[in-house]
Structure 1
Amino acid sequence: MASVAGALLCVLLLLPAHTWSPGAAEHPRDCDAPLASSLPQASFSSSSELSSSHGAGFARLNRRDGAGGWTPLVSDKYQWLQIDLGERMKVTSVATQGGYGSSNWVSNYLLMFSDGGRNWKQYRREESIWGFPGNTNADSVVHYRLQSPFQARFLRFLPVAWNPKGRIGMRIEVYGCVYRSKMVYFDGPSVLLYRFDKKFVRPVRDVISLKFKTMQSNGILLHREGQHGNHLTLELIEGKLVFSLNSGNANLPSTKAQSNLILGSLLDDQHWHSVYIEQLNTHINFTLDKYTQYFQAKEHSGYLDLNSEISFGGILTVGRSLAFSHKSFHGCLENPYYNGVDIVELAKKHKPQILIMGNVTFSCPQSQIVPVTFLNSRSCLALPGNSGKNKVSVTFQFRTWNKAGHLLSSEFWHGSGKFVLFLQDGKLKLSLFQPEESIRNITAGSGLNDGQWHSVSLSAKWNHLVVVVGDDTAVLPLVPMLIVSGNIYYFGALYEQSCEAHKYRGNSSGLYHVDVDGSGPLGSFLVYCNMTDTAWTVVPHGGPDTVTVSGAARGLAHSTTFAYGAGAGQLRAAVVLAERCEQQLVLSCRAAQLTDAQDGSPLSWWSGRTNETLMYWGGSQPDAQRCTCGLEGNCSGSQYHCNCDADWNAW
């Protein structure tokens, strides 16, 4: 045990924590200047305002002009107050007040930040998941110093709770300092190669630091290679960051020749992520954002025998051409440093140590793609469609770990049909309803709940509908008719608890997902809502509407199973919720007796939800063991309980 403790102590002493950041020129204690107080009113915006004197421009801390702060038109959890700092700044703390001399203040709020004002990220306090504590009165100042400062141009304050006897009211201040940033953008197959000075002397400790931002789940961030196949690589693989060391020793099995360390997930979210790597011989200190992991690579000298150059964004072959054995990085790097050397500064000055290949620029463009997160089963995004156009065409990407969920739905023009696109068991399923036609389904893809981005294309025109997910295509023939796009497309969930709730919203008959237990453990499922004087919920099954059973020798039974699109628990909950519930199973017969004429034993039956044997049919009653005509006494003969028992050769 003593030797183990000694080894740990040695690693901790050799790899001390790193506190220097190349992006901030100021000492942290000097980075607390007020950033909002000197901004013009146009830099403040909000979701709404109670009046012109309650606008966002009056939300500066300790100011009394206007009505003395920002107050939205409606006090609910959908309001926000936004600040544009003019450029990316380092933010170290925030402060809040209520509306001057009023009963309006916020007691709890969330803080969001963004580079471009479109793609937002929530700041999460380590000691709480409930946001920031706010005010208990209108005029005292509540100051909060951020444990982990961040860099951003835009900030949003989202009130979560406020004085129940008043309204939302806020005055705010943001503290920090100028953030100096140098960026490089890799657009497709491209690389930036840094070659060390000829007088390069291998340091005792190697330090690499950078930030990255991308929407691509795979790509090489940096690579360093030796003469014998040994290499050091930092790579995004399916949204995770993988740091690998390979000794290049062919005499060793692959598990011993290579050491890997994996951190993070979903890092392709178009937000900045910081990386810091310290290497001392085989000791590695690897930090991603705020999370640090220590490990020791295998004891092989090949790890140290690396060439005196590092490539960023891709891998170069010996002939100095781009290698495509690994996917090149597509995105932005910020402040890449190697042992204190500013890589971007050398590249911008065209220093001889730098070789650039491919499309590399020194700015980070704002992405035109904005991801949208649906937080619960009632989150929904409604977008206008090409109303009246004689085709439907929709493309989007999604990623999730949920095996089931609503993705997209829309009605065709003038009630000519409706489609619902959703996940079921990790597969993409489309259900289509057209008037006077049964519900039809097609399925494409599998394992789509893997947390990776998947591209979806849906198109419908005249007599067919096509769904494409990845490399899988499914085609559904349509009833010949003119397909005309509706006016609204619903993305994400739109789950009401019942068809009655959809009727109350003014929705017409069609396919809908319902979540019968609300926020309970049961998931949603697809139903057909028949909107008459009341709202009937029809749960479809996966089998055909009519099943033909041919004759068979005695003792050889024919069985048919109807699988419903809802589980047993969901069906039970739907029955409990309903005022009235019906299930009808109709049997048409020709030369087919339901009971044995000799001993009266049943020859046909069906099983219900509890697997009990049932011998009554449409229009009859449970436990009657006869058809409707047997109950009413009007079968073809008084000795029969069902007309089928007459064994006629006619339907």
Structure 2
Amino acid sequence: MVRNLYGLGLYHCDVPLASTLPRESFSSSSELSSSHGPGFASLNRRDGAGGWSPLVSNKHQWLQVDLGERMEVTAVATQGGYGSSDWVTSYVLMFSDGGRNWKQYRREESVSGFPGNTNADSVVHHPLRPPLEARFLRFLPLAWSPKGRIGMRIEVYGCTYRSEMVNFDGKSSLLYMFNQKSMSPAKDVISLKFKTRQTDGILLYREGQNGKHVTLQLVRGKLILSLNSGHSNLPSPDARVTLTLGSLLDDEHWHSVLIELGNTHVHFTVDRHSQHFQAEGECDYLDLDCKISFGGIPGHGKSVAFPHKDFHGCFENLYYNGVDLIDLSKKHTPQILVTGNVSFSCSHPQIVPVTFLSSRSYLALPGTTGEDKVSVAFQFRTWNRAGLLLTTQFQHGPAALVLILNDGKLRLSLSQPGHLARDVTAGAGLSDGQWHSVSLSLKGNHLSVMVDGEAAAVAHSLRGQIDSGDTYYLGGAPDKGRNYGLKCKSLGGLVS
């Protein structure tokens, strides 16, 4: 496997990727002038103004590079603008497969981003451990030269990423059948990546006699590995083992899984987090049938006695004891039984979630001037019992609308000059980490609110006419500078 060779130092993955790209592969939030455009942002470039600078230096700017295809990225490097007083002293690195659904790269040694430059022309290089896989990268400046403005030149290092994908539609599965004598390893090693927007689904299932089985399933956005030894006479900790890792894993980002299963032990890793279990009694977790299913349970198995749902989403680089199962599936080998509609590509999501990671995070969406109606629809999820969901100030007068989560309930407060604030409360138990839908409608002097398809107890009549706000803030607000970790989905639906 490529990654094993890389880990042994036998595989070199440090080729400059950005400097060989055409100028059209670079884009940005804005540019100071045509000579400060993103096409001049390659490392050591001196033409144009010698690098990228945005029109305004603030924390809302970004520089993006399109690598053309998904690549393995092992390092990044930055410079400031050539021969100038413009450079970036710290930045955040984001990555994406399709250019819409972004995720922040988090360094183990720092949660605040990457240290940048202290002058214009020195190169600051950062290895990425572990590497990331993406087509698009974004550099978001956090701080810059106090004597100048934002200025960046960048390089990205890595290599071609080998990727085999399979897509399950929620009614399909792969069944791998093998010869036990030819395999007979000291332990089973299963590795894969997955991404989905469904909270529940079976990733793998293998069974044996007397109810013995190994199951990996997504339950309410968490991965649960279950082992049943099939021996009711064993101590309960050994007879049934349940290991849980991850949270909110249905975010349409890739998550890596590694399972190492021995006769009496199991090591379970999701992304960078691991759990280990060692049985005290006489267990044999490997004494199972010579077949293992992925994405679902064909025929529902011999002894499936638990509620389950088939997986809807994508797997990538699925290996069982070193065997590339997706490659076998594409070749239609008799070892693989395909059930249902399975395809060997993975589409990009049409609905993109936005994650608010800090107290300074928020999303600002423009309103439409001169309209007397507002329609807002979105979904959110959070584990926090309190948080700001939406706020806006209407165009005429100090009237304001604030939508918050309070004690797990949704509360809408509408303040109008000369009148007491009007409050509407709806829903309950909304801080359970699951998706909840909210729709809000204001037209003329009428207000209505719905949560998860149910209308609030009373639709209120407003005093006077309400006009659309200039800006709608979701997940936080710039003046308050606070946020409660809410994650909102489908933050469009603003119709004026």
TM range (shorter): 0.7 to 0.9
- Is the 1:465–1:476 Cα contact (8 Å) retained in structure 2? no
Matching of residues 224-235 of structure 1 within 5 Å? 224-235=206-217
1:92 corresponds to: 74
Shift of 1:56: 0.8
Contact 1:186 1:329 in 2 (8 A): yes
| Structure 1 residues 157-213: Cα deviation after superposition (integer angstroms, max 9, x where no partner) | 122222211222211111111001001111223222112147644322211000111
Which letter does structure 2 place at the counterpart of 1:240? Answer: K
Give the aligned partner of residue 329 of structure 2: 347
Tell me the residue number matched to 2:35.
53
- Structure 1 stretch displaced more, 217-226 or 19-28: 19-28
CA contact (8 A) 2:476 2:482 kept: no
Residue 307 of structure 1 is aligned with which of 278, 289, 294? 289
Paired residue for 1:236, among 210, 218, 235?
A: 218
* Matched position secondary structure for 2:298: coil
Partner Cα separation in structure 1 for residue 401 and residue 166 of structure 2: 44
SS of 2:327's equivalent?
helix
Aligned partner (choices 248, 259, 266) of residue 241 of structure 2: 259
Aligned residue in 1 for 2:149? 167
CA contact (8 A) 2:25 2:67 kept: yes
User: Counterpart of 1:261 in structure 2: which amino acid?
Assistant: L
Aligned position for 2:194: 212
Which residue number corresponds to residue 282 of structure 1? 264
Which deviates more, 280-289 or 310-319? 310-319
Q: 1:41 aligns with which of 7, 10, 23?
A: 23
Change (3 A) 1:257 1:20: farther
- Counterpart of 2:364 in structure 1 is 381
1:518-555 Cα deviation digits (max 9, x unpaired): 7799xxxxxxxxxxxxxxxxxxxxxxxxxxxxxxxxxx
Q: Deviations over 1:249-290 (max 9, x none)?
A: 345576552111122222222211111111221122222222
Q: 1:463 to 1:37 in 2, by over 3 A?
A: closer
> Which AA in structure 1 matches 2:150?
I
Deviations 1:60-107 (A, max 9, x none): 112211111112222222221111000000111111222222222222
What is the SS of the residue equivalent to 1:295? strand
Q: SS in structure 2 opposite 1:210?
A: strand
State the Cα deviation string for residues 481-520 of structure 1 (Å, max 9, x = none).
99988366724256576xxxxxxxxxxxxxxxxx5xx779
Cα distance change, pair 384–355 in 1 and its aligned pair in 2 (3 A):
farther
CA contact (8 A) 1:109 1:132 kept: yes
Structure 1 residues 63 and 410, CA gap change in structure 2 (3 angstroms): closer
* 1:469 CA displacement: 3.0
Match of 2:124 in 1: 142
1:432 is displaced (CA, Å) by 4.6
Whole-angstrom CA distance in 2 between matches of 1:163 and 1:359: 55
Shift of residue 128, structure 1, vs aligned partner: 2.1
- CA positional deviation for 1:401: 2.9
User: Is the CA contact (8 Å cut-off) linking 1:85 and 1:153 kept in structure 2?
Assistant: yes
For 1:21, the equivalent position in structure 2 comes to 3
1:8-38 CA distance string (max 9 Å, x none): xxxxxxxxxxx96379899664111111111
CA RMSD of aligned residues (A): 3.5
Match of 1:272 in 2: 254
The counterpart of 2:13, out of the listed 14, 27, 31, is 31
Q: Do the aligned residues in 1 keep the contact of 2:449 with 2:459 (CA within 8 Å)? A: no
Q: Which protein shows a greater Rg?
A: 1
> What amino acid does structure 1 have at the position aligned with 2:295?
G
Q: Aligned to 2:97, which of 115, 122, 127? A: 115
User: How many positions carry a matched residue from both structures?
Assistant: 483
Match of residue 493 from structure 2: none
Change (3 A) 1:493 1:312: closer
Matched with 2:162 is 180
Contact kept, 8 Å, 2:17 with 2:67, in 1: the verdict is yes
| Cα drift, residue 149 of structure 1 | 0.9
Using the TM superposition, name which of 457-466 and 363-372 deviates more: 457-466
1:421 aligned to 2:436?
Answer: no
d(CA) in 1 for partners of 2:89 and 2:24?
26
Letter in 2 for 1:273: H
Of 299, 303, 306, which aligns to 1:317? 299
Quote the offset at 1:217 in angstroms: 2.2
Q: 1:462 to 1:256 in 2, by over 3 A?
A: farther
Deviation at 1:365, TM superposition (A): 0.7
In the alignment, which of 245, 248, 262 is matched to residue 230 of structure 2?
Answer: 248
Distance 1:424 1:59 in 2: 46
Aligned to 2:494: none
Is the contact between residue 104 and residue 167 of structure 1 (CA under 8 Å) also seen in structure 2?
yes
User: Which one scores higher on RCO, CA 8 angstroms, separation ≥ 6?
Assistant: 2
Quick one: structure 1 residues 114 and 437, their matched pair in 2 at CA, closer, same or farther if it must change by over 3 Å?
Answer: same
Instruction: Tell me if the contact between 2:359 and 2:482 (Cα under 8 Å) persists in the aligned partners.
Output: no
Within a 5 Å distance, the mapping from 1:546-585 to structure 2 comes to none
Residue 246 of structure 1 aligns with an amino acid whose one-letter code is N
Distance 1:495 1:174, change over 3 A: closer
Q: 1:321 to 1:228 in 2, by over 3 A?
A: closer
Distance 2:193 2:323 in 1: 15
2:69 & 2:415 partners in 1: Cα distance? 51
Contact 1:394 1:457 in 2 (8 A): yes
Letter in 1 for 2:57: S
- Cα offset for 1:362? 0.9
Match of 1:474 in 2: 456
The percentage of counterpart residues that share the same residue type is: 62
Q: Distance in 2 between matches of 1:330 and 1:252?
A: 35
Q: Matched residues in 1 for 2:483 and 2:9: separation?
A: 50
2:439 corresponds to: 457
- Seen in structure 2, the aligned counterparts of structure 1 residues 284 and 520 have a Cα distance that, compared at 3 Å, is closer
**Which sections of structure 1, spanning at least 5 residues, go unmatched?**
1-18, 498-514, 522-651
TM-score, normalized by length of structure 1? 0.67
Structure 1 residues 410, 323: closer, same or farther in 2, change over 3 A? farther
Deviations, residues 449-499 of structure 1 (Å, cap 9, x unaligned): 2333222234567997554434754231333999988366724256576xx
Distance 1:360 1:285 in 2: 29
> What is the DSSP-based 3-state SS (H/G/I as helix, E as strand, rest coil) of the residue aligned with 2:458?
strand
1:445 Cα offset (Å): 2.4
Deviates more, 1:428-437 or 1:268-277: 428-437
- Secondary structure of 1:347's counterpart equals helix
